[in-house]
Every structure is written in C-alpha cells, then in structure tokens.
Amino acid sequence: MTDSRPVYQTGPECPDCHSRDIVPILYGYPSAEAVAAARRGELLIGGLNIDADNPRWSCRSCGRRFSLGDVSRAM
C-alpha cells in the first residue's frame, strides 16, 4: 500500500539559527490533508490572507518565519 499523504518541500537553512528543521507555511483555506500534515508538524498553517510578502518557511527550532529574500540577505 502506498502512502497518500502529500509531500511538502522543505526550505533552506534558517537565517537566524542555521537549523535545517524547516517547514513550509501554507496560506489560504487549508484542506483536511493540510490540517493533518500541520498536526504532524510537516507544515505550518499561516492564515487565510494570501500575500506575496508572506514568509514562505518556518523554522521549527527557533520559530523564525522567513522567505528567500531573508536568506539571501543573511549570506
């Protein structure tokens, strides 16, 4: 039997603590599968407002929410 859970892409290293324990942030109305994935710690539900400036990833080690622009400025 195959696992039908969706696979969520992990992000880059955290710009603050350099952890690789990163999960994507999902915006908009979440599906039942997304809610279950959030409960498993595979993603973070970011809210209903979808905006281009919303952070894309969340660090599970330090709680920082960030996007690619934050990572490139930290380098």
Chain centroid to Cα 32, Å, comes to 17
Tell whether the model's pLDDT for residue 67 goes beyond 80. yes
Q: How confident is the model at residue 70 (pLDDT cuts 50, 70, 90)?
A: confident
- What's the whole-model pTM score? 0.78
**pLDDT tens digits along 14-59:** 999 999 999 999 999 999 999 999 999 999 999 999 999 999 999 9
- Number of CB atoms found within 10 A of residue 68's CB: 12
Q: Is residue 69 one of the residues assigned to a domain? A: yes
Structure tokens at 66: 């960030």
| The residue type at 13 | E
- In angstroms, the CA 68 to CA 61 distance is 18
Q: Is residue 12 one of the residues assigned to a domain? A: no
Q: Is residue 66 one of the residues assigned to a domain? A: yes
Q: In this predicted structure, what is the pLDDT of residue 61?
A: 94
Query: Which residue range(s) make up the domain with 45?
Result: 23-74
Looking at the structure of the chain, the number of domains it has is 1
